[in-house]
Amino acid sequence: MGSPDWPQGLRIRSAPGTTLVLGSCFWVAVLDGNVVGIVAARAHEEDNTVELLRMSVDSRFRGKGIAKALGRKVLEFAVVHNYSAVVLGTTAVKVAAHKLYESLGFRHMGSSDHYVLPGMTLSLAERLFFQVRYHRYRLQLREE
Ligand SMILES: CC(C)(COP(=O)(O)OP(=O)(O)OC[C@H]1O[C@@H](n2cnc3c(N)ncnc32)[C@H](O)[C@@H]1OP(=O)(O)O)[C@@H](O)C(=O)NCCC(=O)NCCS
């Protein structure tokens, strides 16, 4: 078997006491005793999907496969609990997040320029100078 494509010794642990409702969880990536990344999953029972959210890796540890390991944990969680797809939305401008989701097998489902961030007032100035593009991704695990 080949060696994993993330740092040796990396552990992905579910954070104790963070299961808010059935089907939701929060994980931390731990390397040499330090938390170096986080990710969360939230279940949407109405359409049998899991939403991946809060993906972030400490800037000093990026480019080592840690986000990929965290993303795979969410996919594993969705498979084990019989959800049919994993979905996510992102306003990330940088290429890293998009490459990450593509490399995990997500499909880009479209984007919208009319996303309103919390706290935005939709004033004329905001509409002219502060457009946020919101991208939706989906990874289908099985047909319904
Ligand atoms: C996006 C982020 C989580 C990626 O974390 P990471 O641990 O560096 O990512 P990985 O090393 O696991 O890389 C995963 C894939 O993305 C690609 N990738 C990562 N950073 C990249 C970059 N800067 N440019 C191009 N590709 C990149 C890798 O090549 C890899 O693809 P591969 O498996 O095909 O080689 C990290 O940059 C981050 O925390 N950014 C700020 C927060 C953020 O944008 N979160 C996502 C919000 S939705």
Give residue 53 CA to ligand 1 midpoint distance, Å: 14
pLDDT tens digits for range 83-132: 999 999 999 989 999 999 999 999 999 999 877 777 877 787 777 777 78
Domain assignments of the chain as residue spans, ordered by start: 11-140
Q: What is the mean pLDDT of residues 49-75?
A: 97
Mutate to test the pocket of ligand 1, among 10, 28, 59, 62 (most ligand atoms within 8 A of CB): 62
Class of domain 11-140: alpha beta
User: Is residue 1 over pLDDT 50?
Assistant: no
pLDDT tens digits for range 9-31: 999 998 766 555 567 899 999 99
- Is the separation of the CB atoms in 141 and 84 below 8 Å? yes
Residue nearest to atom 14 of ligand 1 (CA): 100
User: Is residue 71 over pLDDT 60?
Assistant: yes
d(CA 24, CA 7): 26
Q: Write down the pLDDT at residue 58.
A: 98
d(CA 47, CA 45): 6
Q: What is the mean pLDDT of residues 37-64?
A: 96
CA dihedral 101, 107, 113, 116 (to 10 degrees): -60
Question: What is the reported pTM?
Answer: 0.90
Residue nearest to atom 19 of ligand 1 (CA): 96
Residue nearest to atom 36 of ligand 1 (CA): 57
Residue nearest to atom 12 of ligand 1 (CA): 65
Residues lining ligand 1, CB < 6 A?
Answer: 55-57, 62-68, 90, 92, 95-97, 99-100, 103
